[in-house]
Amino acid sequence: MGLYPLLNGVFIDHAPILFEKGDSLDIKYTMQRCGKVEFNEYMTFLHEGYKSNAVNLENQYTGSWSFQL
């Protein structure tokens, strides 16, 4: 999965993304299916993907998704 952040309609290629009051963040994404995922790899993905309520695009899970420029 490729994630492409847009801050106020402008592509952002660096982190951290600094927000101000009234800013709009959109995320465009692409998905590519590469086959069936093993159970343990899927559980690791879910753990990494949902362990925080805060937006942090610097994290990467190299098995299934990553932040791409």
Q: Which residue range forms the structural domain that includes residue 19?
A: 2-63
- Residues 5, 68: contact at Cβ < 8 Å? no
- Residues 68, 4: contact at Cβ < 8 Å? yes
In a domain, 6, yes or no: yes
In a domain, 69, yes or no: no
Query: Mean pLDDT across the chain, nearest whole number?
Result: 76
In a domain, 68, yes or no: no
Mean pLDDT value of segment 2-19: 86
In a domain, 25, yes or no: yes
Q: How many distinct structural domains can be found in the chain?
A: 1
Torsion over CA: 7, 56, 52, 32 (sign): positive
pLDDT tens profile 23-53: 998 989 888 887 888 888 888 888 777 765 5
